[in-house]
A = this chain, B = another copy of it.
Amino acid sequence: MLSHPTLPEAPVSASCHDDDHPHEECAVFGVWNAKDAAALTALGLHALQHRGQEAAGIVSYDGRFHSHRGLGLVGDVFNDPRVMATLKGNCAIGHNRYATTGATLLRNVQPLFAEFAFGGLGVAHNGNLTNSDSLRQELIRRGCLFQSTMDTEVFVHLIAISLYATVEDRLIDALKRVTGAYSLVVLSEDALMGVRDPMGVRPLVLGRLPGEDGKEGSWVLASETCGLDIIGAEFVRDVEAGELVIIDDNGIRSLRPFGETKPHFCVFEYIYFARPDSVLEGLPVYAVRKQIGKELAQESGVEADVVVPVPDSGVPSAMGYAEASGIPFELGIIRNHYVGRTFIEPTDHIRNLGVKMKHSTNRPALDGKRVILVDDSIVRGTTSRKIVDMVRAAGAKEVHMRISSPPTKHSCFYGIDTPERSHLLAAQHDLATMAELIGVDSLAFVSLDGLYRAMGDGRRERYCDACFTGNYPIPLVDHDREHGPGTA
């Protein structure tokens, strides 16, 4: 008799990161020519908090550079008016970090600030360079000094060693050396700059605050449009893939350091990362998610009594599923938003009680029902299993799981913290085994076709969907060098 497949044991954790989602690593923000620039930056970072909760930092400039960085939420790092008062100036950049390694060290918090031949420079970065290890080793051999483990430091060294004279030329020189996915916001003494990698994998948007009393207005850069909305800035446009925008006292200029490039925007931003009220590359995130739910209903409909989202990310897709299927949408799972730090070290006793810090079931909405659970993705499968168990314990007669993304079979190398392939449930098991492992009566993922239909037809080639397809649009320089090509 064959042994039964089992899930790796779920990490028993009560932290805010106990969920089993891929994690975005960062948000960036910048503002030029605005009163209270640092305060506006703090607000922008607050609106972008979902992209990184481990650390935050701001660099401002008023003839001199000022900076403050710390571990924690934006509201914790910048809650002292005396600190805000030191961040003087009419321009500023900021950064939220999601920690990829166990402990976020303070030396790894952005924006990175350094002194160059041409003056100071602050840099905030969202993404991941695929040739950073190679570059790092080369730079170290050359005598460059690395004081952190961040990709951003590689980039900043490339600016430092560039033989060009101006910040702008050095920045472009550096950009041409790096491979990978990145959206950068850069503050020099003369300009605020924003740049997206040639494929435009990570988002970056441009906005504008009207000036008061007939004065010149302000320019704003943010990872998502919700970072504009919070301060009342108007959305102007997405910074384009491969575009460098330079904002200075003469206005705004657009450069194309890489010439024409072919965009491949991260499709997972629509599925999970971005805030639902953001509009990225012309598509409203919320509408895409709802539409995916509709596609799911059409592709993998099942008879049931209620459609229940795994909150918060599964809500719009579940709404779409309910709308398309006619099955009532119910809040069968409640999320406790007060979860902060881990605060109870679980004993065996507590572990056996099946304590859930973050989710609880709304029993009357589940008891005796055939339940369609809608979630955005399955990574390791451990959280899914726990949630299914909860829902069954609340009396659900059947549990059918519907996932608003295709199976996640490949790791991301472009700025998202995913486990290695060997820990991706969908990379290791077929659908039937996955269903068994997760404990559901049926399991379905939206198809890749369905996903792209939800996003509007004919645009498929404009996206990066490597996590589903393994088609990596940007060379995995470091990975291939270490593991050999085609192993990702």
| Chain B, Cβ-Cβ closest to A106 | B106
Q: Say yes or no for A411: interface residue by CB 8 A criterion.
A: no
Kindly specify which of A194-202, A236-244, A276-284, A453-461 makes contact with the partner chain: A276-284
Digitize A350-387: 1 where CB-to-B-CB distance is under 8 Å, 0 elsewhere: 10111111001111110000000000000000000000
Distance between A438 CB and nearest chain B CB, rounded to angstroms: 21
Distance between A372 CB and nearest chain B CB, rounded to angstroms: 16
A338-B141 contact given A323-B328, A362-B286, CB 8 Å threshold: no
Cα(A212)–Cα(B339), bound, Å: 28
B residues within 8 A CB of A212?
349, 352
Cα(A115)–Cα(B76), bound, Å: 31
Is the CB–CB distance between A81 and B345 below 8 Å? yes
Q: Say yes or no for A74: interface residue by CB 8 A criterion.
A: yes
In the complex, how many residues of chain A place their beta carbon closer than 8 angstroms to a beta carbon of chain B?
88
Number of copies of this protein chain within its complex? 4
Interface centre among A112, A156, A350, A352 (most CB of B within 10 A): A350
Distance between A174 CB and nearest chain B CB, rounded to angstroms: 11
Is the CB–CB distance between A364 and B279 below 8 Å? yes
B residues within 8 A CB of A286?
331, 362, 364-365
Digitize A30-65: 1 where CB-to-B-CB distance is under 8 Å, 0 elsewhere: 000001100110110011011001000000000000
Cα(A349)–Cα(B337), bound, Å: 31
Q: Say yes or no for A230: interface residue by CB 8 A criterion.
A: yes
A145-B117 contact given A209-B353, A355-B43, A362-B277, CB 8 Å threshold: no
Q: Say yes or no for A316: interface residue by CB 8 A criterion.
A: yes
Distance between A48 CB and nearest chain B CB, rounded to angstroms: 10
Is the CB–CB distance between A46 and B338 below 8 Å? yes
Q: Say yes or no for A161: interface residue by CB 8 A criterion.
A: yes
Is the CB–CB distance between B341 and A76 below 8 Å? yes
Digitize A266-280: 1 where CB-to-B-CB distance is under 8 Å, 0 elsewhere: 000000000111010
Cα(A362)–Cα(B353), bound, Å: 39
Is the CB–CB distance between B156 and A145 below 8 Å? yes
Cα(A117)–Cα(B363), bound, Å: 45
Interface centre among A161, A338, A355, A357 (most CB of B within 10 A): A338
B residues within 8 A CB of A141?
117
CB proximity to B under 8 Å, residues A283-327: 284, 286-287, 312, 315-316, 319, 323
CB proximity to B under 8 Å, residues A110-160: 112-117, 140-147, 153, 156-157, 160
B residues within 8 A CB of A328?
323
Is the CB–CB distance between A344 and B78 below 8 Å? yes
**Within the complex, which residue of B79, B162, B350 is in contact with A36, where a contact is CB–CB below 8 Å?**
B350
B residues within 8 A CB of A161?
142-143
Cα(A73)–Cα(B356), bound, Å: 17
Q: Say yes or no for A435: interface residue by CB 8 A criterion.
A: no
| Chain B, Cβ-Cβ closest to A328 | B323
Distance between A297 CB and nearest chain B CB, rounded to angstroms: 15
Is the CB–CB distance between B76 and A277 below 8 Å? no
Cα(A315)–Cα(B162), bound, Å: 55
Is the CB–CB distance between A347 and B39 below 8 Å? yes
B residues within 8 A CB of A117?
140-141, 143
B residues within 8 A CB of A106?
106
B residues within 8 A CB of A160?
140, 143-145
Cα(A315)–Cα(B212), bound, Å: 38
B residues within 8 A CB of A157?
143, 145
A73-B365 contact given A316-B331, A355-B232, CB 8 Å threshold: no
Is the CB–CB distance between A361 and B229 below 8 Å? yes
A-B pairs with lowest CB-CB distance, top 5:
A143-B161, A284-B364, A277-B362, A337-B337, A49-B338
What are some 21 contacts across the A-B interface (CB < 8 A)? A39-B344, A42-B344, A46-B343, A79-B340, A84-B344, A114-B146, A116-B140, A117-B143, A143-B160, A145-B157, A145-B160, A212-B349, A229-B361, A231-B350, A275-B334, A277-B360, A284-B363, A286-B362, A286-B365, A315-B331, A337-B337
